[in-house]
Amino acid sequence: MNWTRKHLLDIESLSADEIRVILDTTRAFKAVGERTIKKVPALRGRTVINLFVEPSTRTRISFELAAMRLNADVINFTAETSSLTKGETLLDTGKTLEALSADIIVVRHSAEGAPHLLSRVVDCSVINAGDGAHEHPTQALLDTFTMFEKKGDVSGLNVTILGDILYSRVARSDIIAFQKMGAEVVVSCPNTLLPDEWQPGSILGQQTGFENLEIARNVDEAVEGADVVMALRIQQERQEAGHLPSLREYSDRWGINSRRMAMAHDGALLMHPGPMNRGVEIDSNVADGPHSVILPQVTFGIAVRMAVMSMVAGG
């Protein structure tokens, strides 16, 4: 199939074939990253601006590295020292960056839909690097790519996602991507971290917006026999907002540790999008253990972002 999209705004609107095309392109760029000279001229003469209005380590740096490896000129916008602090709107900022010759704007913003809105007012390409609790499409693509690389396929895998489902843009994008690729997805977390309308213990369709998404009340049952276990970050503010009695209790009841990991399938992958709270949602002995593919996830993110940027730029 031919790729015709100018923006990458979410996973929801992508077809399974489009996801496969991105992953195929990612494979080619992964090979580039394994060479001594890791650069190709795909975006030579183009300008990429990273417009991050929320903190980020891995997403911002891997977009920057990916753009550099494609030979683009890269500018990192710093929100704290920009005219956003003087009241300039995101849309005016985006239009200003385009007037300064941006070909691709990579946006991270706390407001859901911010990249979608920006894509309607600028002519250049917009890539969503995480918008509020909505979506984080390149994270889902790199997570899916990691599963293909480490397991050979995603179709038929049992994937268990543990953690803050309610507020997690990664959970939302991952569930959509994994299901589109044919995985069986189970989520498990305290009821307070599930959307109100999701009922534990049921196979849900309409209510969650996800076909055949299983909500497991018991975390041990959710992990048993899983091919992939993904832990999501528990944010400190969840406890402060009364969603959790204590981080210690979350760790005991829902955290992934060596006892729980031993219940998963032999050769199961342990994934985490980062940043991790060691000792809360994940114990150090499994985060650094033989099942963990947390650092390969980060590395694969560069090739995924090279693929996405070259594709939206028409490469």
CB of 149 to ligand CP, least distance (A): 18
User: Which of residues 5, 20, 58, 150 is near ligand CP by CB under 6 A?
Assistant: 58
Nearer to ligand CP, 174 or 214 (CB): 174
Nearer to ligand CP, 57 or 110 (CB): 57
Characterize the bridge pairing of strands 213-215 and 203-204: antiparallel
Q: How many CB atoms lie within 10 A of CB 6?
A: 14
CB of 232 to ligand CP, least distance (A): 10
Instruction: Report the alpha-carbon distance of residue 149 to residue 159 in Å, rounded.
Output: 15
The helix (H) or strand (E) run that includes residue 77 is strand 73-78
- Check binding of 57 to ligand CP (CB under 6 A): yes
Which of 28-36, 39-47, 89-97, 273-281 is the region at the interface with ligand CP (rule: CB under 6 A)? 273-281
CB of 301 to ligand CP, least distance (A): 8
User: Which of residues 26, 50, 59, 292 is near ligand CP by CB under 6 A?
Assistant: 59
User: Which of residues 225, 267, 275, 314 is near ligand CP by CB under 6 A?
Assistant: 275
* Residue 274 Rama label (left phi>0; alpha psi -120 to 50; beta): left
- How large is the greatest C-alpha to C-alpha distance in the chain, in angstroms? 55
Nearer to ligand CP, 275 or 289 (CB): 275
Instruction: Report the alpha-carbon distance of residue 6 to residue 125 in Å, rounded.
Output: 5
User: Which of residues 56, 76, 235, 239 is near ligand CP by CB under 6 A?
Assistant: 56
The helix (H) or strand (E) run that includes residue 253 is helix 247-254
Which of 20-28, 55-63, 191-199, 286-294 is the region at the interface with ligand CP (rule: CB under 6 A)? 55-63
Nearer to ligand CP, 126 or 140 (CB): 140
**186 SS3 class:** strand
- Contact positions with ligand CP (CB under 6 A) in 114-173: 130, 136, 139
- Check binding of 26 to ligand CP (CB under 6 A): no
- CB distance 269 to 228 below 8 Å: yes
CB of 168 to ligand CP, least distance (A): 10
Return all residues near 278 (Cβ < 8 A) that are at least 6 apart: 284, 287
- CB distance 298 to 62 below 8 Å: yes
Amino acid letter, residue 247: L
Contact residues: ligand CP, CB under 6 A: 56-59, 130, 136, 139, 273-275
